[in-house]
C-alpha cells in the first residue's frame, strides 16, 4: 500500500506532525510527550490497519477480475460489507458474473458451430460423391441414351446442391440475427400461389393434384418473401412424400384470433419416433431414404417463429402428413 503516493505523503506528514508534537510535549513535561507519542502510535496503528484492510479488499477484487480474464472456473463472490467499497464490490461482482455468462454462451455457440460445420460438410459430401461417381461413369460410357440419363442425374444433383447451399446460407443469416422481417398484411391466396409456383412443372410431371381452399380476403401479417420460403419447404417435403399420382390439400382458416394454413398430403406420413424431432436441424428420420437433408423443416420453423407464428406437424387421422402454420391477429 506504500506504493500509493497519497499514503506515502500522509505517512510522512503524520511522522513529522508526531515528531513536532512529541518535541513540544517533552518541552512542556515528559509525561505530556509520552502521552502524545502513545496517542500518535495508536492513531497510526488504526490508520495502518484500516488502510491495509481496504487494500486487501481491493486486491481481492483485482484477483477476482484476473480469474475471469483467465477463464478460471472459480469465482470469488464474498459478501460486501457496508462502506465505501461495498458498491464497487457489488458492481464488479455483477460484471464478472455477466462476463462469465457471456463466456459460457460463447463456448456453447462455438461447440454448436463446430457441430453444424461437421453436419454441413457431411451434407455437401453426399451429393459431391454421387456427382463424382457419375462423372467417372460418363468417361467410359459410349451409349448415347445412357449418357443423357447420367447427365440428367448430374444436373439434378447440382440443383440439389444449389438448394442445399442456399438453405444453409439462409439458416446462417437467421442464426446471426441479420435478417429483418418486413411485417405487412399478406393475402393468403397470393402467398400460396407464390409458394406453389416452383412446383407446378414437377407436379404436372408426377401427376400430383393440389386442392386449395382459402376464404376470400384471408390475410396474415408477416414477411411475404420469407413466408413463401417457409411454405415452399413444407411443399417440398410433401412432394417427396406423395410420389406419383399424389394429392396435396391446402386449406386456410381465418378467425378473429388467428389465421391458420393447413397443408395435408396423401403420403405415408411420419414415423412415430420421428414426430418430436421433425423440425430439428439436420435430422433425417430413423428410416431416411437418403433424399432429404434435414434442413427444410428446420428453416421453415426458424422463419415462422421468427415472425411470431407457430408451426406444427403430425399425422392426419385419414392418413398422410399434415402441417399447420398459425399467426395471431
pLDDT digits (tens, 9 = 90+) for 174-227: 887 888 999 899 999 999 999 999 999 989 999 999 999 999 999 999 999 999
Q: Which domain holds residue 21?
A: 5-76
Residue 171 vs residues 13, 179, 198: alpha-carbon distances, Å: 69, 10, 20
The predicted model scores a pTM of: 0.63
Confidence of residue 146 (pLDDT cuts 50, 70, 90): confident
| 25 and 53 part of one domain | yes
| 148 and 208 part of one domain | no
Determine the pLDDT at residue 238. Answer: 94
pLDDT cut 70: percent of the chain above it:
78
The CATH number assigned to the domain holding 290 equals: 3.30.565.10
Residue 131 lies in a domain: yes
Confidence of residue 161 (pLDDT cuts 50, 70, 90): confident
State pLDDT tens for residues 311-323: 999 999 999 999 9
State pLDDT tens for residues 78-98: 554 545 556 666 777 777 778
Determine the pLDDT at residue 67. Answer: 67
- What lies within 8 Å, CB to CB, of 318 at 6+ separation is none
Residue 33 vs residues 21, 27, 37, 45, 169: alpha-carbon distances, Å: 8, 8, 6, 18, 85
Residue 254 lies in a domain: yes
| 267 and 224 part of one domain | yes
| 194 and 322 part of one domain | yes
Number of domains within the chain: 3
| 202 and 244 part of one domain | yes
Residue 119 vs residues 114, 115, 123, 187: alpha-carbon distances, Å: 9, 6, 6, 37
Determine the pLDDT at residue 107. Answer: 81
Residue 206 lies in a domain: yes
Residue 252 lies in a domain: yes
Residue 75 has pLDDT above 60, yes or no: no
| 141 and 252 part of one domain | no
Residue 135 has pLDDT above 90, yes or no: no
Residue 52 has pLDDT above 80, yes or no: no
Q: Are 87 and 61 in contact (CB under 8 A)?
A: no
Confidence of residue 265 (pLDDT cuts 50, 70, 90): very high
| 145 and 232 part of one domain | no
| 201 and 322 part of one domain | yes
Determine the pLDDT at residue 94. Answer: 76
Determine the pLDDT at residue 72. Answer: 59
Residue 307 vs residues 178, 225, 297: alpha-carbon distances, Å: 14, 12, 16
Amino acid at each position: 500500500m506504500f506504493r500509493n503516493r497519497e499514503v506515502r505523503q500522509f505517512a510522512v506528514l503524520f511522522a513529522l506532525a508526531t515528531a513536532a508534537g512529541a518535541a513540544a510535549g517533552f518541552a512542556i513535561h515528559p509525561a505530556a510527550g509520552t502521552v502524545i507519542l502513545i496517542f500518535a502510535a495508536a492513531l497510526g496503528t488504526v490508520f495502518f490497519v484500516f488502510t491495509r484492510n481496504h487494500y486487501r479488499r481491493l486486491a481481492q477484487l483485482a484477483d477476482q477480475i484476473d480469474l475471469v480474464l483467465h477463464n478460471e472456473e472459480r469465482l470469488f463472490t464474498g459478501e460486501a460489507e457496508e462502506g465505501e467499497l461495498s458498491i464497487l464490490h457489488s458492481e464488479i461482482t455483477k460484471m464478472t458474473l455477466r462476463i462469465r455468462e457471456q463466456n459460457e454462451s460463447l463456448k456453447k455457440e462455438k461447440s454448436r458451430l463446430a457441430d453444424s460445420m461437421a453436419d454441413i460438410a457431411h451434407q455437401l459430401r453426399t451429393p459431391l460423391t454421387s456427382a463424382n461417381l457419375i462423372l467417372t461413369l460418363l468417361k467410359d460410357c459410349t451409349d448415347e441414351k445412357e449418357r443423357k440419363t447420367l447427365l440428367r442425374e448430374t444436373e439434378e444433383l447440382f440443383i440439389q446442391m444449389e438448394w442445399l447451399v442456399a438453405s444453409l446460407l439462409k439458416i446462417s443469416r437467421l442464426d446471426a440475427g441479420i435478417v429483418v422481417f418486413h411485417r405487412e398484411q399478406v393475402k393468403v391466396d397470393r402467398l400460396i400461389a407464390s409458394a406453389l409456383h416452383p412446383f407446378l412443372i414437377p407436379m404436372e410431371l408426377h401427376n400430383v393434384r393440389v386442392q386449395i381452399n382459402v376464404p376470400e380476403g384471408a390475410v396474415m401479417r408477416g414477411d411475404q418473401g420469407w413466408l413463401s420460403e417457409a411454405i415452399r419447404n413444407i411443399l417440398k417435403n410433401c412432394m417427396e412424400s406423395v410420389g406419383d399420382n399424389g394429392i396435396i390439400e391446402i386449406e386456410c382458416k381465418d378467425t378473429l384470433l388467428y389465421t391458420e394454413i393447413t397443408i395435408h398430403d396423401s403420403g405415408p406420413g411420419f414415423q412415430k419416433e420421428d414426430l418430436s424431432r421433425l423440425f430439428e436441424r439436420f435430422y433425417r428420420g430413423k428410416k431416411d431414404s437418403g433424399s432429404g437433408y434435414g434442413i427444410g423443416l428446420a428453416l421453415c420453423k426458424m422463419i415462422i417463429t421468427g415472425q411470431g407464428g407457430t408451426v406444427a406437424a403430425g399425422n392426419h387421422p385419414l392418413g398422410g402428413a399434415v402441417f399447420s402454420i398459425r399467426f395471431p391477429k
